Amino acid sequence: MSLSLKEVEALVVKTLDDSKGRDIQVIDIAGISTFADCMIIATGTSTTHVRALGSHVAQALKDAGEPPLGIESSPQPDWVLVDLGDTIVHVMTEAARAHYALEKLWDIKPSDVVAPAAE
């Protein structure tokens, strides 16, 4: 049995919240991305917390029968990415989140996209 996009989203948000993730944001990128439909961003209080949040999300999805496609991080991560297929989870330290500003990067409305001029 496969979880729906909304079920994955709810499980990820609950897991992040239960693990004391901060400022959890869910961004619908279905209309502007070809690689995923949803992006979830959360802040951890330290590199240890960021790593733990990423691990908790991965474990929750494994337990639900939907193991992640991949997890990317460094040994002392200020950013952990959990690839769940249609959902991408970013867990970052406050400094990394402020620096990369993913919410601003992905705050593109389909009406804002300009089609290339016909040649």
User: pTM for this one?
Assistant: 0.85
* Complete DSSP assignment for 63-91: HTT---SEEE--SS-SEEEEE-SSEEEEE
Q: Would you state the pLDDT for residue 69?
A: 96
- Quick one: pLDDT at residue 114? 45
> Which tens digits make up the pLDDT trace of 4-13?
999 999 999 9
Number of domains within the chain: 1
Note whether residue 115 is domain-resident.
Answer: no
**56-109 confidence digits (pLDDT tens):** 999 999 999 999 999 999 888 999 999 999 999 999 999 999 999 888 877 655
Residue 87 within any structural domain of the chain: yes
Tell whether 116 is covered by a domain.
Answer: no
Residue count (the chain): 119
Specify the pLDDT at position 2.
87
> Which pLDDT tens digit goes with each residue over 32-45?
888 899 999 999 99
Which CATH number characterizes residue 61's domain? 3.30.460.10
pLDDT at residue number 1:
56
Which strands sit side by side in the sheet containing 22-28, from one edge to the other? 22-28, 38-44, 87-93, 79-83, 70-72
